[in-house]
Structure 1
Amino acid sequence: MAVQYKDYYEILGISRDASKDEIQRTYRKLARKFHPDLNKEAGSEEKFKEINEAYEVLKDPAKRGKYDQFGSNWQQGDNFQPPPGWQHRSNSSQGQQGPEETFFWSSDGGEYSDFFEALFGGRFHENVQGAQGGRPFSINRRGSDHEAVLRIPLEEAFGGGTKTITMQSTGPGMDGSPSSREKRYDVKIPPGIMSGQKIRLSGQGGKGSGSGGSGDLYLKVEIEPHPRFRLEGHDLYTELAITPWEAALGAQIDVQTLDETVTLKVPAGTQSGQKLRLRAKGMPNPKGRRGDLYVVMKIKVPKKLSKKERQLFEELSKVSSFNPR
């Protein structure tokens, strides 16, 4: 039965002579753009599956070579029918001695398009038979690694611990049609983890073929913005509002860090925007040391004054020789 030809190069938006690195970079960019967990627009899930199918073929030289045998003879959307017995090409036609290689695919059920199934069938195997005969065997291929984004609050990045998350994936259901599935993971978060770092869940990626093991799942950490703290490296920054008299006379003020309350000594003559450092009150690093917490002073004045306050400020303005300009 004829099916519609798919131009995998056009799907990824690359040329037919694109390098392996270019294919990988383009795939990662498109996969992030159309991932159903990140893109809720209509058609994004179907586009995501199409991108994955194209990458599944073009990332592997053997698969790409088989696909390229027919790619120049069809256009996107045209009917396609692979010639009978095309899978069984022999090196003997080139006058070479040694083993004969036969490539074929076994279906894993509904993950790919009809075109893919017609041309390949599903999961890759390789049958190698000696010149005098022999028993075929399947290549053991490790499954592909997967990546997802894990967004956590600053407090969890600071303290670490175990976080239970639920992730959705799309796979074939009982009738072969796409079905959404959920899986729970207990993720161990190390204290002091930074945005951009990855947590590896061994064996939770794509399934391998033959006796090849599964790939890994990498969770790329993103730390959510915090209402009070700003993170720079392992240092934290926060603002502290103080009164004009506290700035002028000095004061001792309680400051809340991520894990405790400490007393900050504000020296007399403190200026607005001045930073005071609390040593080792920032984020921990892998060696156990902690960054610093920088407290930025913001001098605030009352918007409304009582009668007494106005009298005192007027008296101060008369006796003070201070000129900030």
Structure 2
Amino acid sequence: MAVSYKDYYKLLGVDRGATVEDISKAYKKLARKYHPDLNPGNKEAEEKFKEINEAHEVLKDPEKRKLYDQLGPDWQNGQQFQNGQGFENMHFNFNGQDVNGSDFSDFFESIFGGGGRSARGAQFGPDPFGGFSSRPRRGRDVEAELPLTLEEVMRGGKRNVTLQMPHGPKTLEVNVPAGIRDGAKLRLSGQGDPAPGGGTPGDLFLRIRYQPHARFRVDGENIHCDVALAPWEAVLGAKVPVPTLEGEVELTIPAGSSSGRKFRLRGKGLGTAAKRGDLLVKVMIRVPAELTSDERELWERLAATSTFKARA
């Protein structure tokens, strides 16, 4: 089988005369950068992490490095080549265990015949501070959205959530903190993807998404709503019902309130019990679209006798 040459020195950013200490330093620096725990869900970082571990596993070992270097001076051309002569039956072990499998590249296997899984099925996980560790890998984290109404956000409490996971639907009981912010994440430990080889499952992250509301608009922890007034309520003043997330309350409208005036109801917004936002109510004056003859006569008398100048 023809496979492409992999330049292990280039992968680690060292020259071919680098010492074992230089190789180890370069490896640790790159391993920290590309470690899967620091790059969740990043396939490119995961592949890079595998490559630098493969390169380090060869170059840190004098015997493996010697065999690798015997590929010859044409390594610079990245040429295609057949399985190396004399390397077909080479095997090795990590931490005293024979290994085989698919964690390493075809190039690696063509030279050493090895891989990254133990005979017991445990998958070897790269250790950013040196070599490989025999602990099973952790499963992938999963992220999903959790839509909530504003009333559910205000109340908080337990909710049953059904999610479509890679291995089928999963129903979970989730405890939603009262007043949780839009875009915040809830972490459910161990509810992500299962791990290969029996390792620890990943975590599930639920991102909170506020659903649009028919009456309220959200502005951080404050919410806004509009309340309609009849012209005479705005002029004479009135007590009108106003919606809140916890039910209606009565709001006193002072006489002479123009359309667009805002009233603040403190502690009627979103947030925790210790620090809730406010409800901002904007009054909007509505006029009748149709008038009876008596109503028209009254409006005409008002227009004729009033001294109010709307555009003064």
Match in the other structure for 2:191: 204
User: Equivalences for 1:227-238 in 2 at 5 Å?
Assistant: 227-238=214-225
Distance 1:141 1:249, change over 3 A: same
Structure 1 contact 271–299 (Cα < 8 Å) conserved: yes
Match in the other structure for 2:21: none
Structure 1 contact 57–64 (Cα < 8 Å) conserved: no
245-254 vs 200-209, which deviates more? 200-209
Q: Tell me the TM-score normalized by structure 2.
A: 0.64
Distance 1:60 1:137, change over 3 A: closer
Deviation at 1:222, TM superposition (A): 0.6
Q: Tell me the TM-score normalized by structure 1.
A: 0.62
Deviation at 1:255, TM superposition (A): 1.3
Residue-pair matches, total = 258
SS at match of 2:124: strand
Deviation at 1:155, TM superposition (A): 1.5
Structure 1 contact 104–126 (Cα < 8 Å) conserved: no
1:161 aligned residue (157, 161, 164): 157
Match in the other structure for 2:305: 319
SS at match of 1:294: strand
User: Equivalences for 1:1-325 in 2 at 5 Å?
Assistant: 52=43, 54-59=44-49, 62-63=52-53, 65=55, 84=88, 88=92, 124-125=123-124, 138-170=134-166, 180-208=167-195, 213-285=200-272, 288-325=274-311
Deviation at 1:153, TM superposition (A): 1.5
Any gaps of 5 or more consecutive residues in structure 1? Answer: 5-17, 32-50, 90-98, 129-135, 171-179
Distance 1:100 1:21, change over 3 A: closer
Deviation at 1:137, TM superposition (A): 7.1
Describe the superposition over 1:111-145 as per-residue Cα deviations: whole angstroms up to 9, x where unpaired.
x9x98xx99678741699xxxxxxx9723544343
Deviation at 1:238, TM superposition (A): 0.5
Over the aligned positions, Cα root-mean-square deviation in angstroms equals: 4.7
Distance 2:77 2:251 in 1: 75
Q: Which amino acid aligns with 1:228?
A: R
Larger Rg: 1 or 2?
2
Deviation at 1:182, TM superposition (A): 1.5
SS at match of 2:289: coil
Any gaps of 5 or more consecutive residues in structure 2? Answer: 5-29, 60-75
Structure 1 contact 125–209 (Cα < 8 Å) conserved: no
Deviation at 1:87, TM superposition (A): 7.5
